[in-house]
């Protein structure tokens, strides 16, 4: 008697890290073994910083760190921001928890319904005499209205910190988006577009702030027995830089695969019933295809689609849900109905270099069902 087995359906996670050929990583490790320099600003970290600076065409050095969250925290310290800050409720929790961890008080301002980034008018309305900074995420790699934010900050004397965790490689009007604001932080976490397992980098606008970022990440050292000031340990290790360099060698492939899969989604979901208009990408901005998000017409429709996808071993994520202004532990001021509405209806679909056209077609078919 013959029993035929159906091939098990391949699970599709929301993302999968890109891994370079194993031998390439080993080759870079070989050098670490020879030098016996495992961390503390070694040659691989320096090489990665140089590559990141050149890639983004930055006037100032990309300062590599152990992770992106520490980059945000050091930014608050370097800019002397410790009071009230205005931020977005539509982001990963780190955008809010990092200033809170630094002792700041959060005020949430609402987002624009089409770009999903902070609404400049809502920022203005949220300013009080105690406001010190605007902490703005470039959501899904879509730049904030950086020109309006710069004008508000200049008029009110506020610092601007961009959470550019999603914005690797994004340009605005032909220049890197990382050149806006006092400090920008990019995450190099394994789940991000470009990664070093764990990691991140910061870019400052002025030489003074850049110098602080540089020494604050290594306990404030100015030589073995001297100190510029108080710092913390946020150094990237050589092992992490080695991964970053290996992934860097494949950047063009990574970007073109993600772009192709995103375009497959655009075609597969065109006119799909139940879906609302997607994100409006900022005019003048380039896209990095870091995420593929869709907005449903209602939360009920979203939940039905998620259930169908889960039963077929497809695992999208509700980025970002819940809206952070509703999270009690963040203890903020501000009620943001636009963010709450968007959060209830937004879904990030699987997107990674491991997916092919057929995987995207399968996801689209399930959503259309
Ligand atoms: C990933 C992420 C962070 C944190 O970055 P890590 O490198 O994981 O510390 C911060 N903000 C946003 C918006 C993120 O997506």
Q: In the prediction, which pLDDT does 190 show?
A: 97
Q: Report the CATH number that the domain containing residue 71 is assigned in CATH.
A: 3.40.640.10
What is the domain range of residue 271? 251-368
Domain for residue 1, yes or no?
no
Taking alpha carbons only, the member of 166, 163, 120 closest to residue 145 is 120
Domain count along the chain: 2
Q: In the prediction, which pLDDT does 2 show?
A: 56
Task: Tell me, yes or no, whether 305 and 353 share the same domain.
Answer: yes
Average pLDDT in the 192-209 region?
98
3-class secondary structure per residue, 227-277 = ECCCCCECCCCHHHHHHHHHHHCCHHHHHHHHHHHHHHHHHHCCCCCCECC
Task: Tell me, yes or no, whether 194 and 312 share the same domain.
Answer: no
Ligand 1 neighbour 182 (Cβ under 6 A): no
Ligand 1 neighbour 165 (Cβ under 6 A): yes
Task: Tell me, yes or no, whether 256 and 192 share the same domain.
Answer: no
Q: In the prediction, which pLDDT does 6 show?
A: 59
Percentage of residues of the chain with pLDDT beyond 70: 98
Task: Tell me, yes or no, whether 265 and 361 share the same domain.
Answer: yes
d(CA 289, CA 308): 25
DSSP 66: S
Residue bearing the bigger pLDDT, 263 or 278? 263
Task: Tell me, yes or no, whether 223 and 273 share the same domain.
Answer: no
Ligand 1 nearest-atom number relative to CA 189: 7
Q: Report the CATH number that the domain containing residue 325 is assigned in CATH.
A: 3.90.1150.10
Task: Tell me, yes or no, whether 72 and 194 share the same domain.
Answer: yes
Q: In the prediction, which pLDDT does 334 show?
A: 76
Does the reported pTM lie above 0.85? yes
pLDDT digits (tens, 9 = 90+) for 99-149: 999 999 999 999 999 999 999 999 999 999 999 999 999 999 999 999 999
Ligand 1 neighbour 68 (Cβ under 6 A): yes
The answer to whether residues 232 and 72 touch, using CB atoms and an 8 Å cutoff, is no
Domain for residue 8, yes or no?
no
User: Which of 248, 268, 301 is the last residue in one of the domains?
Assistant: 248
Ligand 1 neighbour 69 (Cβ under 6 A): yes
Q: In the prediction, which pLDDT does 7 show?
A: 59
Domain for residue 3, yes or no?
no
d(CA 120, CA 125): 9
Task: Tell me, yes or no, whether 170 and 219 share the same domain.
Answer: yes
Task: Tell me, yes or no, whether 162 and 301 share the same domain.
Answer: no
Q: In the prediction, which pLDDT does 281 show?
A: 97
Averaged pLDDT score across all residues of the chain: 96
pLDDT digits (tens, 9 = 90+) for 202-225: 999 999 999 999 999 999 999 999
Domain for residue 14, yes or no?
no
Ligand 1 neighbour 141 (Cβ under 6 A): no
Q: In the prediction, which pLDDT does 246 show?
A: 98
Task: Tell me, yes or no, whether 296 and 168 share the same domain.
Answer: no
DSSP 17: -
Res 8 pLDDT > 60:
yes
Q: In the prediction, which pLDDT does 332 show?
A: 74
Ligand 1 nearest-atom number relative to CA 91: 13
User: Best substitution site from 89, 90, 163, 198 to test ligand 1's pocket, by max atoms within 8 Å of Cβ?
Assistant: 163
Res 3 pLDDT > 60:
no
Return the number of other C-beta atoms located less than 10 Å from residue 192's C-beta: 20
- 24 C-alpha vs ligand 1 centroid, how far in Å? 27
d(CA 261, CA 85): 37
Task: Tell me, yes or no, whether 298 and 343 share the same domain.
Answer: yes
Distance (Å) of CA 201 to CA 161, 179, 269, 275: 13, 13, 35, 36
Domain for residue 140, yes or no?
yes
User: Which of 248, 282, 299 is the last residue in one of the domains?
Assistant: 248
Q: In the prediction, which pLDDT does 87 show?
A: 98
User: Which of 203, 232, 248 is the last residue in one of the domains?
Assistant: 248
């Amino acid at each position: 008697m013959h029993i035929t087995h159906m091939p098990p359906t391949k699970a599709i996670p929301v993302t999968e890290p890109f891994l370079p050929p194993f031998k390439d990583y080993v080759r870079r490790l070989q050098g670490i073994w020879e030098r016996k320099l495992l961390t503390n600003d070694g040659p691989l970290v320096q090489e990665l910083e140089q590559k990141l600076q050149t890639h983004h065409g930055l006037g100032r050095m990309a300062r590599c760190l152990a992770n992106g969250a520490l980059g945000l925290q050091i930014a608050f310290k370097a800019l002397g921001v410790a009071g009230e800050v205005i931020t977005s409720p539509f982001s990963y929790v780190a955008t809010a928890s990092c200033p809170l961890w630094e002792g700041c008080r959060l005020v949430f301002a609402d987002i624009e319904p089409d770009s999903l980034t902070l609404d400049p008018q809502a920022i203005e309305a949220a300013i009080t005499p105690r406001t010190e900074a605007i902490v703005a995420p470039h959501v899904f790699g879509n730049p904030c209205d950086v020109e309006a934010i710069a004008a508000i900050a200049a008029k009110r004397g506020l610092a601007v910190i961009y959470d550019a965790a999603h914005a690797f490689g994004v340009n605005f009007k032909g220049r890197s988006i990382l050149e806006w604001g006092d400090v920008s932080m990019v995450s190099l976490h394994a789940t991000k577009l470009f990664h070093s397992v764990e990691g991140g980098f910061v870019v400052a606008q002025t030489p003074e702030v850049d110098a602080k970022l540089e020494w604050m990440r290594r306990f404030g050292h100015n030589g073995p027995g001297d100190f510029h000031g108080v710092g913390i340990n946020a150094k990237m290790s050589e092992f992490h830089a080695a991964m970053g360099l290996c992934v860097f060698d494949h950047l063009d492939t990574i970007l073109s695969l993600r772009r192709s899969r995103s375009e497959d989604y655009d075609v597969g979901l065109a006119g799909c019933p139940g879906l609302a208009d997607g994100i409006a990408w900022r005019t003048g901005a380039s896209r990095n295809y870091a995420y593929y998000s869709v907005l449903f017409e209602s939360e009920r429709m979203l939940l039905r689609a998620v259930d169908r996808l889960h039963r077929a071993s497809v695992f999208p994520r509700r980025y970002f849900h819940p809206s952070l202004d509703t999270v009690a532990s963040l203890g903020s001021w501000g009620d943001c109905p636009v963010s709450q509405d968007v959060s209830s209806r937004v879904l990030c679909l699987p997107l990674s270099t491991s997916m092919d056209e057929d995987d995207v077609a399968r996801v689209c078919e399930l959503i259309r069902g």
